[in-house]
Amino acid sequence: MKMQYLGDSKDSFKWDYHDYLTSVLQYPRLNIILMLTPDDQSCHGNTHPEHFRARKCVISFCHNLRKERNIQRLRGLPTETGTSYLIDLHKPETYFTRQNRRQYFSGLPAEGKHLFFLDPDNGFEPERSRN
């Protein structure tokens, strides 16, 4: 994930889906493994949250993410959607690199019920753009 992507149309899908899934499964925690990487000079992440038909509360949440670009704001998703689970952000201040891969994934909780979401910044690409 890159900070420049916070609140874009893919986030609308991502947060709407994961909020729904966590709630339906009745898991007490959603653990987001950010896999944060530095922003780049591309225009990626500029799509508006409305491009995905998420619930209005999620669209509003994404607009706030776009304004603030604050990763800690992700913890507020359950409050915005009126659900009752907690969000854990795994190493939110650490950039994910090839060199720190083993260390980065250390310390994940093994006790209790958690839904884990790994959020790499490579996303989904149409088949025609693969190399």
d(CA 35, CA 33): 6
| pLDDT tens figures, 83-118 | 999 999 999 999 999 899 999 999 998 888 889 999
Question: Do the Cβ atoms of 66 and 9 come closer than 8 Å?
Answer: no
DSSP state of 12: H
User: Has residue 18 got a pLDDT over 90?
Assistant: yes
| pLDDT tens figures, 29-79 | 999 999 988 888 876 667 888 888 899 999 999 999 989 889 999 999 999
In the three-class reduction of DSSP (H, G, I as helix; E, B as strand; rest coil), residue 91 is classed as coil
Structure tokens at 39: 């922003």
The reported pLDDT for the residue numbered 42 is 77
Question: Do the Cβ atoms of 32 and 87 come closer than 8 Å?
Answer: yes
Order of strands, sheet of 86-90, starting from the edge strand that comes earlier in the sequence = 86-90, 29-33, 115-118
